[in-house]
Structures are given as C-alpha cells and as structure tokens.
Amino acid sequence: MIDHAGKTALVTGASRGIGEAAARSLAKYGASVVLAARSSEAIERIARDIRSGGGRAIACSCDVASYADVEKTVALAAHEFGPVNILVNNAGLIDPISRLETSDPDGWGKVIDVNVKGVYHCIRAAAPIMLEAGGGTIINISSGAATGALEGWSHYCASKAAVLSLTKCADLEFSDHGIRVMGLSPGTVATHMQVAIKASGINPVSQLDPSVHIPPEWVGETISWLATEAGDAYCGIDCSLRDEGVRKAVGLI
C-alpha cells in the first residue's frame, strides 16, 4: 500500500504531462502537493481539480532556472503544508532540437538552465529543510539520454547526464542523513515533448509511432511508488520504467 498522508510534496513542471500526473498521484495517496510551473493558469486549474476531489493542493508560479523563485516556492510549501518531504524534479525542456553546427547558443543554454540548474536549485533549497527534519525523498526525472547520445539532442543528453551525476552526488552527500535521492528514467512518454520530437524529424526517436509511448499516469504512479520504501533500491541511480519488473512492482502490468 502506498500512503503519503501527512507528507508535503513539491512537483516542478506540474502544468502538464509527467508533472501533472505525479501531482495527481501523490495527492491521491494523501500527500499535500505544491504544483510549481511557469504556466500559472494550468497549475491553478489542476490544483483546484485536486482539491475538488478531496485532496490538498496549491499552485505556485515558479521558474526553476531562478533560485529566488525556487526559494519562494519551498517557503510557500512549508507555510501552507509543512516542510517538503518529497521533491520531484520534473521540469525540463528539449526545444530547440538541432544538430550542433546549427544550434542556437541561447536556446542551448536555456535548456541547461532549466534541466540542470533547475534541479540543482531545487535540491539546494529543499535539502537544508530535509536535513533538519531528518530525511526526505528527492526524485529526479532522468532519461535514457543520460547515458546515450542522440543526434540533435546534444543539449538534452548533456543535461540528463548532468542530472544523473547530481543524483549520484546528492546520494553520496545525503544518504547517511536520511535523504533518499534517486532518478527515474521513464522511457518515451505520451507528452507534449513527444510532439516536438516528432516534428523535428531528427534521430530514430522522432520516427516512433505514438502508440509506443506510455501514458504519463504510469510515470506518476511510479513516482508515488518510489517515494515509499520501495525506492530504497534505487538510491543514487536511475530506476528504469522500461524494466518489466519495475512495472509489475508498481502494478502497471
């Protein structure tokens, strides 16, 4: 049984896709959820929907590339629900997809600001609170791109490799203090990101039939599962949702 009653969860990139699914799943299992994203209208709507179903949720406009925004969001979570116990670092970008020689330096840098610095900012803001509380769980959304190169995805591959390294470093520093840090590599998921990938026409991922992508709700349920003791086996590494054993353990098949 998954039970997150009494816990405060912060989910970034919660306006749609994996982030929305994670927020809804964690709320379903009793967590008080703070939905963070730049799209304030979307997260307000999702938070209202969660509350209408009996859950506890608030929305906070936040650009994870800004440490000040992240600090504000973590403080709001503590004020409304109590210190953050579960942090889901989901916010991420893949646009603009381009080969290196035609890439836009500003666009490439923006992906790093969100995908890498955003994860660092959230860990930096939440870790002192978790250390003071004696523990917590940090789940970083990873990708197969963290360990494999793909044409047109130099920014995304580099960023996810960096996130995997952050997962390892954070686990090394925090595991003896009750903070569990793990990655989740979900595989291809039916989200808006796949629309951009398909439109690019670059590399084999863009050629995949949409029917092969898993629903974001599968990822949301896996996040809730990893936030229990089941996640202990994945501290410091990535849990792959392509693994049939993981899918069975979560109850997806």
Could you list the active site residues?
156
Helix/strand/coil for 183: strand
Centroid of chain to Cα 235: 15
**Gap between the Cα atoms of 227 and 192, Å rounded:** 25
Contacts of 87 (CB under 8 A, 6+ apart): 9, 10, 122, 123, 126, 130, 136, 137, 138, 139
At residue 138, φ and ψ (nearest 5 deg) are -120, 120
Rg (CA), the chain: 17
Nearest to 230 by CA among 48, 35, 3, 6: 3
Q: How far apart are CA 151 and CA 247, in angstroms?
A: 29
Closest CA to 184 of 146, 149, 214, 153: 146
Neighbours of 212 (CB within 10 A): 10
Cα 109 to Cα 196: distance, rounded to the nearest angstrom: 18
Question: Whose structure tokens read 């608030």?
Answer: 58
Task: List Cα–Cα distances, 89 to 96, 100, 158, 216, in angstroms.
Answer: 21, 27, 17, 15
